[in-house]
Amino acid sequence: MKRSEINLTRGVPPTDVFPVEDLIACSEAALSRDGSVLLQYSHAGYPPLREWIADWYDVGAERVLTGNSSLEVFAFIVQVFASGGQRAFVESPSYDRSITLLRHNDAAVVGIPLQKDGVDLDLLEQELEKGAPALMYVITDFQNPMGVTTSLEKRQRLAALAREHDFWLVEDAPYRQLRYEGEDVPSLWSLAPEKVLHMSSFSKVLAPGLRLGYVIGPQSVINKLADWAVDSHIGPVLPTQGMVYEYCRRGLLDENIERLKEIYRPRLGAMLTALDKHVPDADWTRPQGGFFVSGHLPNGCDIVDLQARAAEEGLKLSDGRGFFPNPADGQGFLRIPFCSLTPEEIDKGIARLGHLI
Amino acid sequence: MKRSEINLTRGVPPTDVFPVEDLIACSEAALSRDGSVLLQYSHAGYPPLREWIADWYDVGAERVLTGNSSLEVFAFIVQVFASGGQRAFVESPSYDRSITLLRHNDAAVVGIPLQKDGVDLDLLEQELEKGAPALMYVITDFQNPMGVTTSLEKRQRLAALAREHDFWLVEDAPYRQLRYEGEDVPSLWSLAPEKVLHMSSFSKVLAPGLRLGYVIGPQSVINKLADWAVDSHIGPVLPTQGMVYEYCRRGLLDENIERLKEIYRPRLGAMLTALDKHVPDADWTRPQGGFFVSGHLPNGCDIVDLQARAAEEGLKLSDGRGFFPNPADGQGFLRIPFCSLTPEEIDKGIARLGHLI
């Protein structure tokens, strides 16, 4: 009997958590009330949504820009600030799509090794001595792919270094609201609003198909990015912005986040338990939220070899090398997403992984 | 008594033509049937919409890529084919946002003067002698800003030159379906499908807020663009793609285009009549469709001066210089959109214009 496949690769929400009925009702309400605005061209997005996000973050609306995904917003940031061959620092490992996007826009990517409490500050300072970057891209909460959260001490030091060396910290925070245990750490942005561009999106807290991202930053930067956005796409897709605004306005977003946390918390617990039980020798991270656990494989185990052997056993694994600016650094690295699997699937998948290692 | 302002600047549809009720119903139907797909990540867009567009153009779905506006799709084309400082030819004048986008992506923009039946082929051949461009961007039907349509003879010659000198023709065709008089001219794409990337969108035939554009081209090019798109935004916004698919599937798009033509045809007629009556000395174009009429002002009239004097009379005019790769060429150029004004407003606005000139 062929074993059912277990997929430990994709960092996406399970489709059965999407609040489809509520979104249908919100779409209808938004288009009925404001169809002539939502179906026309806009510039910086749907103004009521921009204002709602601004209120949520307790800033003025002029400090918020929305776009078709936070990846698109990041593209605008890179194109405005780093596309002339400037240096861009990233955590190593980091989100593979952000590394690719930086390179497509001709930024010179420099990886700073990521530890379990944030980047290695000594190595960061060494790189800064060679020259400040245009920007440093960090995922401070429940990092993709490692799952680690940067400590308050390291955040404070990052903020101080950004001031001292005059570069932008781009804080990507799509998982920040999904904390299953422990206490929030102040965002980088709250520590240095004048040096931080704080990005997030509705992909993980509502639904990725909406492709609705945003950035909060100093007004002068938001103005520049907004001008660039207009020249790039005139305005973002609006009917979905109306739908999401209505969803937020009705108070449903907070409820949804609580609901998702109840679904994902036991999955994280099951993942950590299964790893302790089946693969105790690797140095797994122990996240308190987000989508990912990761570790370096024990015994010099090679990810490409493991991936091939796992496929034969009905287990899909990610090739971790793409998360590293220098791919060879990821030879023994494994990222494991846990949100889209049930606790039973997680135990079964990790048991297979332990057997293979 | 202050005169009511008449706006002759924006090339946007009037908001009262948007079929809001139908779109609400289509949004609900699409999300009810396929919410788990429309709310999740995708790569090349919503497959049923891609297939519907492919059928509409009688090609395979692998030859269609959708994106968040045709301007975004054009950005992907430019980034893949012309962002290394390559030459890009455009009609002079051309759509100002496309010129800006080319320059933002480091293409070297070369304007080829546009005549009333398409670009000046002698000047095009002279430029080709200096070196083939990576691409040539043309708006063959009811051009923005001139309103002219490229003749069949010139299309055939463009296709032959693209083959001979091996460059891409990017045919932007957002107005093609909005012909109010006369007969369709075969698209460039139908004449040379192996050398043409044919772009269009739902902005003018349905609603711009949807930001739904697409490109049809050879499969190898579509594959390259699709990979680039994934690295740029993962996938486009999907719920609106579901809404538009449902709208098309129900046969409503063709009906809507016919309805829009009935609304816009008398506006074009009123515009041409008013220009003949109030400003007979300028060399106005005489489009048979689209959104724009244009002309060079008589008597050495300067657009900036005219714009300032018009503003005092409650008449908003466009500064035509932005449509020209060399802005000085547009010193006496005026683009006049006619779709979003009633015949009465058109007559009143053009009477004011005639008085000012």
Same domain, A192 and A47: yes
Residue A319 within any structural domain of the chain = yes
Contacts of A36 in chain B (CB under 8 A): 15-16, 18, 20
The average confidence (pLDDT) of chain B is 96
Contacts across the A-B interface (CB distance below 8 Å): 173
Give the integer Cα–Cα distance in Å for A260 and B253: 38
H/E run at residue A128: helix A121-130
Same domain, B350 and B222: no
Cite the beta strand spans of chain A per DSSP E. 6-8, 64-68, 87-92, 108-115, 118-119, 135-138, 168-172, 196-201, 212-216, 292-296, 315-317, 333-337
A234/B68 touch (CB, cutoff 8 Å), yes or no: no
**Chain A residue with minimum CA distance to B69:** A233
Same domain, B181 and B294: no
Same domain, A226 and A128: yes
Sign of CA dihedral A14, A17, A21, A26: negative
Same domain, B61 and B83: yes
What percentage of residues in chain B have a pLDDT greater than 90?
Answer: 94
Per-residue pLDDT of A14-43, as tens digits, reads: 999 999 999 999 999 999 999 999 999 998
If one counts every other C-beta atom within 10 angstroms of the C-beta of residue B220, the result is 9
Domain that holds residue B339: 6-17+254-356
Residue A1 within any structural domain of the chain = no
Residue B65 within any structural domain of the chain = yes
Residue B67 within any structural domain of the chain = yes
Residue B266 within any structural domain of the chain = yes
Same domain, B11 and B48: no
Q: How many CA atoms lie within 13 A of B99 on its CB side?
A: 20
Classified as helix, coil or strand, A193 is coil
Beta pairing partners, B111: B90
- What phi, psi does B336 have (nearest 5°)? -125, 110
Give the integer Cα–Cα distance in Å for B261 and A351: 64
Same domain, B162 and B287: no
Same domain, B112 and B241: yes
Classify burial at A251, counting beta carbons within 10 Å of its beta carbon; exposed 0-12, middle 13-18, buried 19 or more. exposed
Interval B352-356 mean pLDDT:
94
Query: Can you give the pTM of this predicted structure?
Result: 0.96
pLDDT at B138: 98
**Chain B residue with minimum CA distance to A23:** B31
Question: How many separate domains does chain A show?
Answer: 2
Give the integer Cα–Cα distance in Å for B181 and B264: 11
CATH code for the domain of B314: 3.90.1150.10
Comparing CB atoms, the residue among B28, B69, B233 nearest residue A69 is B233
pLDDT at A11: 86
**Final residue of a structural domain among B201, B223, B251:** B251
Contacts of A240 in chain B (CB under 8 A): 237, 239-240
Residue to test with chain A: of B17, B211, B247, most A Cβ within 10 A: B211
Give the integer Cα–Cα distance in Å for B127 and B101: 21
Same domain, A240 and A267: no
Contacts of A75 in chain B (CB under 8 A): 232-233
Same domain, B119 and B197: yes
Q: How confident is the model at residue B1 (pLDDT cuts 50, 70, 90)?
A: very low
Q: Which of residues 8-37 of A touch B (CB under 8 A)?
A: 12-13, 15-16, 18, 20, 23-24, 27-28, 31-32, 35-37
Would you call A104 an interface residue with chain B, using a CB distance cutoff of 8 Å? yes
A28/B28 touch (CB, cutoff 8 Å), yes or no: yes
If one counts every other C-beta atom within 10 angstroms of the C-beta of residue A164, the result is 12
Residue B1 within any structural domain of the chain = no
Per-residue pLDDT of B285-337, as tens digits, reads: 999 999 999 999 987 889 999 999 999 999 999 999 999 999 999 999 999 99
Residue B271 within any structural domain of the chain = yes
Same domain, A183 and A265: no
Comparing CB atoms, the residue among B35, B68, B231 nearest residue A237 is B68
Which ipTM score applies to this complex?
0.96
Comparing CB atoms, the residue among A24, A40, A232 nearest residue B12 is A40
Residue owning tokens 């962002």: B83
Q: Which of residues 317-346 of B touch A (CB under 8 A)?
A: none
Beta pairing partners, B6: B315
Same domain, B260 and B247: no
**Final residue of a structural domain among B193, B220, B251:** B251
What residues of chain A score a pLDDT lower than 50? Answer: 1
For the ranges B118-132, B141-155, B286-300, the lowest mean pLDDT is seen at B286-300
If one counts every other C-beta atom within 10 angstroms of the C-beta of residue B261, the result is 17
Interval B264-279 mean pLDDT:
97
Contacts of B100 in chain A (CB under 8 A): 231
Q: How confident is the model at residue B2 (pLDDT cuts 50, 70, 90)?
A: low
CATH code for the domain of A102: 3.40.640.10
**Final residue of a structural domain among A192, A226, A251:** A251
